[in-house]
Amino acid sequence: MDIQTRLIHAGEERIEGAVVLPIFQSSTFISQDEQDYDAIRYLRTNNTPNHHALHAKLAAVCGGEDALVAGSGMAAITTALMTLLSSGDHLLIQDCLYGGTHSYVTQDAPRLGIDVDFIAGNAPESWAGKLRPETRAIYVETMTNPLLEVADLEAVVEFAREYGLVSLIDNTFASPCNFRPLEIGFDIELHSATKYLSGHSDLVAGAIIASSAQVRAIRHKLNHLGGTLDTHVCFLLQRGMKTLALRMRQHNENGLRLARFLTGQEQVAGVNYPGLESHPQYERAQRLFSGTGGVLSFELQGGVASAERLLSRLTLPATAPSLGGAETLITRPAATSHCGMSPEDRAEMGITDGLVRVACGIEAARDLCADFAIAFSKV
Ligand SMILES: *Cc1c(COP(=O)(O)O)cnc(C)c1O
């Protein structure tokens, strides 16, 4: 069935005839002679009916054998990495990463004896030079923040298979509606369900989709570390997921329409969006993705001062980090998500101080573009 139908029906269970699965607000359940630690029915062990429903829905939607939800995207990412990697192991990871993931692999992983090397997502010929006998895994993001670079994702899968590595992908920016990495051969798909999956900027959650064996191992680790998703949040995430396909259509439309509008503005020096023909990986995005999402970034001729003036004159976008909710959000990455980096490191990554990132919501594209047009006329 179509992903839109799977999002609504997969994993649903009708209890006492209720069309919507109720919230099981109980930390513990009557014992049924469980033999295994992970089978003990307790809220931290991620096995309430609310968890089961979400796991089945996520697995069906992403085309995986099994799935697991976690207390946040970072809980999903760090627990997956801690399950795969032990002291002495080596990880290859993309050089442009979500800030929390970057901090974890540069600050926490080395203290656990895990060595990390960065790879350029679009230079697959350079990856083999970084391999070691201890290399266990390769990790990328579907689209990088805030420049929306699309790594050579097919080469990642091929490389992992050739050298016996586990391939992981943070698919938050695409959502399973725009891209399903397991279908092209990735081993583990990760999400910050805080973003598109839940879709309303009102919760924090994470998701992992993989083979039954991988999910079982990660669940065991999660049960120890305690990054459980509360059942009330499970309920909200399940509700949000039912409208993912509808919402993604509008995010995709708004991203593309706003990117095209910005390209035509005199004050705009450049726009980064994989749905634009000018994007260096446009062809790859067209081939692999069903849509290019709601996030884009752009540079103004007038730099930081113009960017600040524009942000203060827009009326629809809220100045806040994050993405994937109903309302459009806007930030200047140098002042928010990437403020922890030195200006030199940012410049090397192509993130200038005047760069503006927009995470389009699901307002009408026309109104969004009109709001920018009025703001530009006053900048
Ligand atoms: C937000 C985000 C995360 C972290 O997710 P949380 O739910 O905030 O823990 C990880 N990866 C990407 C790409 C994100 O956008």
To test the pocket of ligand 1, the residue of 78, 98, 295 to mutate (highest count of ligand atoms within 8 Å of its CB) is 98
Q: Tell me the residue ranges of DSSP E strands in 71-182.
A: 90-94, 115-119, 135-141, 166-170
Containing 319, the helix (H) or strand (E) segment is strand 318-319
CATH fold of the domain at 3-241: Aspartate Aminotransferase; domain 2 (3.40.640)
pLDDT for 376 equals 94
- Residue range(s) of every CATH 3.90.1150.10 domain in the chain: 245-378
pLDDT for 336 equals 84
To test the pocket of ligand 1, the residue of 74, 139, 228 to mutate (highest count of ligand atoms within 8 Å of its CB) is 74
Backbone angles phi, psi at 12, to 5 degrees: -70, 140
- Residue range(s) of every CATH 3.40.640.10 domain in the chain: 3-241
Task: Give the residue from 199, 186, 245 showing the smallest Cα distance to 64.
Answer: 186
Q: Say if residues 80 and 192 touch (Cβ distance below 8 Å).
A: no
Q: Give dist(CA 75, CA 72) in Å, integer.
A: 5
Q: Which amino acid is at 277?
A: E
Verify whether ligand 1 is closer than 6 Å to residue 295 (CB atom).
Answer: no
Strands 268-272 and 295-300: antiparallel
CA of residue 176 to ligand 1 center, whole Å: 15
pLDDT for 337 equals 81
CA of residue 359 to ligand 1 center, whole Å: 14
pLDDT for 379 equals 67
CATH fold of the domain at 245-378: Aspartate Aminotransferase, domain 1 (3.90.1150)
pLDDT for 84 equals 98
Verify whether ligand 1 is closer than 6 Å to residue 206 (CB atom).
Answer: yes
Which parts of the chain have pLDDT scores under 50? none
